[in-house]
Amino acid sequence: MATGILSNLNEAQCEAVTTAADVVQVLAPPGSGKTKTLTARVAYLLAERRLKPWNIIVCTFTVKAANEMKERITKFVGHECAKQLKLGTFHSVALRYLKQYGQHIGLGKDFGIADSSDSKAIVKRIIKKNDFSGDAGGARGRISTQKAKGIDSEQFWKKAKDVEQQEFARIYREYEETLKASDLLDYDDLLLRCCLLLRVEPACVSNVEALLIDEYQDTNNIQYDLMGLFAQHRNVITIVGDPDQSIYGFRSAEIKNLTRMKEQWPDTLTINLEENYRSSGAILHAAQHIIEQDESRPPKKLQATHTYGQRPVLRKLPSAAAEADWLVAEIQRIQALSGDLLQPNDFAVLLRSAALSRAIETALGREGVPYRMIGGMRFYDRAEVKLLVDYLRVVDAPGNNEAVERIINVPPRRVGEGTVKGLHEEAQSKGVSLWSLVLDVVQGRCKPTTKVTPSTQTGLAKFVDVILSAQKKLASVTAESAPLVNLLQHLITKLSYQDHLKRKFPDEYEARWTNVEELVAQTIEASDPERLTAIVNDGALPSIEGLERRTESVAEDALSLFLANVTLATAGTEKAEQDGETAQQVTISTIHGAKGLEWPVVFIPACYDGSIPHSRADDNDEERRLLYVGMTRAQALLYLSTPLRNSQREEASMSTFLTQPGVAAFFEEHGPSVAIADVRALAKTLRRDCPSDTAIAESKKTLERDEDNYWPLTGEEPFEERAKWDRSRPGDAAWTFGNTRPAAVFSNATVTMQQQQGYSTTSATTKPGFVSAKEQYDDILEQQKLKKVDERAAQVRTASEDKPKTRKRQIEGQGTIASFFAKPPGRVGYGPVAFGGDNLPDATLEDAMPSAKRTKQPLHELRNVNSAPLERALVRPLQPAYKLPPAPLLRPSPSSTNMLATGTGSAYVFLSSSPPQPEEAPDPETAGAMPRSDDVGDEKTAVVRARPATTFHTTSMQIAAPQRKTLGMRRSLQGWNARGGKR
DNA sequence: AAGACACCTTTTTTT
DNA sequence: AAGGTGTCTT
Ligand SMILES: Nc1ncnc2c1ncn2[C@@H]1O[C@H](COP(=O)(O)OP(=O)(O)OP(=O)(O)O)[C@@H](O)[C@H]1O
């Protein structure tokens, strides 16, 4: 057993895993196998030391890290054992203790968790009420900082010196009172109360035999205390961390906790790992050089185990849109030149902030590259989903004033701001909850001092009815009958939620509704009795003799369990992640979200001042570490880039971290030429089989351009800007080049360009290279124009022709020329693209898509993904659904759950970027290029056909009848619709 | 007093 | 794109 655990570890790692020392710190740079060591130690403790899984606590800082950890441990010890570990984020572990032992500190069982919007709303109201200045977000952050320091509102109140501090002290105090009144704990409270509990009742953790913590550099002081308390009986602690990767200072992470730990446990064994198993030498060198700009940092050894490899790329592009186009073209180029050694899964785009994803998503979408988005706006934070969740929260715990306030007038019930404010204050002064006051008012038990007009009274009555009937529903239903789904369906009906969404989001109703469907699907999964029982049982802390413990019941606690998971962002993520890994898709993530993960190819776009380092960041060193973390995610290829103008078209200059003297020497100015030898090296680094030379040559042929030489290295616009002046074009407004996306021109062209002879990478850095490229460009332009005329003639009518909307789009640069060309069969995209608005009025839709209804080819044959969800798509009506289709949603049997589950991943692909689409121009030539149905699912035969992209941009979503969309997929769909819909 | 509509700014990172 | 603000109508 032990040999299995230790077989892939080096000496230092082995020592860390097997050491008899109680307290162990593993301090090591990125990619040195820290997480691997930690998981191996868990396995070792279980197998060799015979610890019981339920006596081991494993803590991480993010949900994703927790899932990743669980997966890795499962590989060692199997699911049966792994699931019994007390493994999770600090917050979720703390929550378990509070749920089960909270009574020892006077905490009821039914407390809720305040999410950030609750907290912010509370603070905002307090500020407004008291006429204080300052922003709610800032005050909220300050409260959190104080809590992390262990200073409660009373302490702060006492030591507040100046007026400003007193003002804040008041906000802090009222905030705490408000939480208490609603029986809510905020994120920090979960940790604080858990600390309190473990101090008051140490027996709670008397069973704990070992504690392990990943990414320890991210601990804040409460978490530090919690660590000591969890381990207080046996003091067996293993932590791994890297001070250079500390990127959570904004939530009070203290790197000092490393030394503090050594002081508290003087026998701490510190082990350093120095070998990097992840990245090529070139990437490590560059990353190392950047982190060493921080002069306060002690020098460290970092030994590459891989070859030097390709130097990372530092690229300048004219605009954010151009950057995105270049990036996508590089993904396609590298995949092709690697002979499909690299697949979409192997690429990641890492961003400083989630909002930067828009340009990238647009470009990926246009090229039909499937992707998934991690981080950013969460599924449960979307307005249409959050509202329903808030209803559920009120049904679960009507004392939650915050949630009541948010839903009391949505949909509009003529209960306005003034009334709510009045009632809220009245309730507060009476010492009752808003809900019970409203209930009394409606049921005539109490006349409010607040003026309530008759129509408002009616509105309140409606509201009360919704909640009461829902509560009844919940109570009357047994665990076996999927209480959550029934409850949610009840609410949706009772609220006429479809109509509400239609009114509120006329342009993007479909997308919003799809999210509601997704929520319903999530609750199906969450209320699967087997699953619930498993969660309750495995989540339960072991019972300890002589210690009173509250247990959870599947029937009664399904709702609150689900809601807690929603707030802690745990709900649905595990499944979504598994699905995300099986489907072939490019990952887009924030850098924070990417910590601990790795990909063969990593892009970090938008490396400009203001983004990295962020303009609002107050610790530049942390920003630098963030860049370092991003860079060290890459195994084989790393691309940094910056647009010279950001998405708001303001001038942007390259990040100061990248303009320091000496940095340039570590980078290439453009993407690498990839020769066959490079592919072999790549295969070796990734420990994969190398494709045959012929396979590589074949896939290379599908590329129009096998060098990264389209965009000038200076960051200027490429030639077609000049072409615009040089050439006279027939008077077709749609042909305006404007900001067109030239990359798309090339990758979409049917005309195969002759390979550029003698055009080496080095010459790409010189101007002449571009001149010759221009000639080829002109050539292609000519041919493409001819082809365009042909296509136009062949098509009775192109949808975009008489739509000013599309024309405007084109002028804005949303893929003009590309629209008129067929992609070569075989590669480039991964499936047909369909995008954008499902929001057009039906008439426009039919106008726009005359061919939509003529489609002969079944949709699922058009793409290379799992066909199951597509069949679901076909069952769905073409017109917007006005009813929840009950069939797929109301089968709570395990098989249906599975179906939905697998659907998730693929639907993901499908909705995120490349929904299936009917053939746009059923012309025989392109039809011949269609894949046969038995080709479906084979990556290599992915075939892309002619399509006017602009048309799809605006219409295809409706035809593609969006399926379940999963967590994190978000904006792809929604953002698009929002865009397509306007104007 | 509530709602509908237009117009404005502002958008870090996570539990 | 969502939240705030301001104006007008009901
Ligand atoms: N002894 C080893 N031999 C071969 N490969 C290893 C070894 N140790 C780790 N690796 C590999 O190195 C990669 C990085 O490992 P891991 O994610 O555990 O590193 P890490 O130190 O946790 O990185 P980070 O600090 O970035 O989270 C993984 O692909 C892992 O499989």
| DSSP for A420-465, written as a single string | HHHHHHHHHHHTS-HHHHHHHHHTTS---SS---HHHHHHHHHHHH
Closest nt to residue A622, judged CA to C1':
B13
* A408-CA/B4-C1' distance, Å: 19
Closest atom of ligand 1 to CA, residue A39: 18
SS3 (DSSP) at A212: strand
* A381-CA/B10-C1' distance, Å: 19
Contact A451, A415 (CB under 8 A): no
Contacts of A758 (CB under 8 A, 6+ apart): none
Give the number of other Cβ atoms within 10 Å of residue A161's Cβ: 8
Report whether A30 belongs to an annotated binding site.
yes
How would you classify residue A752: left for phi > 0, otherwise alpha for psi between -120 and 50, otherwise beta? beta
Tokens of A430: 């009476």
Contact A49, A18 (CB under 8 A): no
- φ and ψ of A588, to 5 deg: -115, 135
* Interatomic CA distance for residues A735 and A811, integer angstroms: 8
* Interatomic CA distance for residues A364 and A959, integer angstroms: 20
Q: Which of A64, A274, A278 to mutate to test the pocket of ligand 1 (most atoms within 8 A of CB)?
A: A278
Q: Which of A8, A10, A17, A32 to mutate to test the pocket of ligand 1 (most atoms within 8 A of CB)?
A: A32
Paired with A587 in beta bridges are: A348, A372
Contact A872, A906 (CB under 8 A): no
In angstroms, what is the span from residue A829 Cα to ligand 1's centroid?
Answer: 32
Contact A321, A347 (CB under 8 A): no
Tokens of A338: 């690697």
- pLDDT at position A810 is 24
In angstroms, what is the span from residue A250 Cα to ligand 1's centroid?
Answer: 27
Contact A318, A641 (CB under 8 A): no
Report whether A542 belongs to an annotated binding site.
no
Contact A194, A223 (CB under 8 A): no
Contacts of A129 (CB under 8 A, 6+ apart): none
Report in angstroms the alpha-carbon separations of A856 from A918, A920, A930, A942: 8, 11, 12, 19
Report in angstroms the alpha-carbon separations of A87 from A84, A188, A220, A501, A778: 8, 19, 19, 39, 60
Contact A299, A292 (CB under 8 A): yes
| Residue nearest to ligand 1 atom 30, measured at CA | A33
Residue A572 one-letter amino acid: G
Closest nt to residue A65, judged CA to C1':
B14
* A404-CA/B3-C1' distance, Å: 20
Which bases of strand C sit closer than 7 A to a protein CB?
1-4
> Residue for token digits 């067109």?
A740
Which bases of strand B sit closer than 7 A to a protein CB?
1-4, 11-15
| Residue nearest to ligand 1 atom 26, measured at CA | A30
Contact A699, A342 (CB under 8 A): no
Vertex A721 angle, CA A720 and A726, to 5°:
80
| Residue nearest to ligand 1 atom 6, measured at CA | A277
Strand C contacts (Cβ < 7 A) comprise A 124, 358, 382-383, 974-975, 978-979
Report whether A33 belongs to an annotated binding site.
yes
Tokens of A461: 């009555």
In angstroms, what is the span from residue A247 Cα to ligand 1's centroid?
Answer: 19
Strands (DSSP E) found in A480-598: 586-590
Closest nt to residue A120, judged CA to C1':
C3
Contact A168, A139 (CB under 8 A): yes
* A646-CA/B8-C1' distance, Å: 22
In angstroms, what is the span from residue A674 Cα to ligand 1's centroid?
Answer: 26
Closest nt to residue A128, judged CA to C1':
C4
* A143-CA/C2-C1' distance, Å: 24
In angstroms, what is the span from residue A246 Cα to ligand 1's centroid?
Answer: 18
* A978-CA/C7-C1' distance, Å: 26
Contact A880, A889 (CB under 8 A): no
Closest nt to residue A355, judged CA to C1':
B11
Name the residue closest to B3, CA to C1'. A414
* A453-CA/B2-C1' distance, Å: 11
* Interatomic CA distance for residues A367 and A364, integer angstroms: 5
Q: What is the DSSP string of A167-179?
A: HHHHHHHHHHHHH
* Interatomic CA distance for residues A644 and A556, integer angstroms: 57
Maximum CA extent, chain A: 90
Closest nt to residue A386, judged CA to C1':
C2
* A412-CA/C7-C1' distance, Å: 20
Name the residue closest to C2, CA to C1'. A383
Q: Which ipTM was obtained for this model? A: 0.95
Q: Which of A277, A280, A302 to mutate to test the pocket of ligand 1 (most atoms within 8 A of CB)?
A: A277
Tokens of A308: 């030097």
Nearest to residue A126, comparing CAs of A79, A169, A97, A158?
A169
Tokens of A7: 């077989």
Tokens of A187: 């994120």
The alpha carbon dihedral of A431, A433, A434, A440 has a sign of negative
Q: Which of A9, A26, A35, A36 to mutate to test the pocket of ligand 1 (most atoms within 8 A of CB)?
A: A36
Name the residue closest to B12, CA to C1'. A353
Report whether A35 belongs to an annotated binding site.
yes
Ligand 1 contacts (CB < 6 A) are A 8-10, 13, 28, 30-36, 242, 245, 277-278, 596, 598, 632
Contacts of A859 (CB under 8 A, 6+ apart): A870, A873, A874, A916, A917, A918, A960
* A175-CA/B2-C1' distance, Å: 29
**Do strands A210-213 and A237-241 pair parallel, antiparallel, or not at all (unpaired)?**
parallel
* Interatomic CA distance for residues A780 and A526, integer angstroms: 55
- pLDDT at position A635 is 97
Closest nt to residue A971, judged CA to C1':
C1
Query: SS3 letters for A76-99?
Result: HHCHHHHCCCEEEEHHHHHHHHHH
In angstroms, what is the span from residue A237 Cα to ligand 1's centroid?
Answer: 21
Tokens of A564: 């807690």
CB crowding A292-323: b at 16 or more within 10 Å, else e: ebeeeeeebebebbbeebbbbbbbbbbbbbbb
pTM for the model stands at 0.77
Tokens of A854: 């003529």
Strand B contacts (Cβ < 7 A) comprise A 61-64, 89-92, 116, 187-188, 247-248, 250-251, 352-355, 375-376, 409, 412-420, 451, 453, 456, 459, 568-569, 590, 592-593, 614, 616-618, 648
Ranges of residues in chain A whose predicted pLDDT is under 50: 722, 725-983
Angle, to 10 degrees, between the axis of helix A971-981 and the axis of helix A509-527? 160
Name the residue closest to B13, CA to C1'. A592
- φ and ψ of A448, to 5 deg: -75, 150
In angstroms, what is the span from residue A686 Cα to ligand 1's centroid?
Answer: 13
* A417-CA/B2-C1' distance, Å: 8
Report whether A788 belongs to an annotated binding site.
no
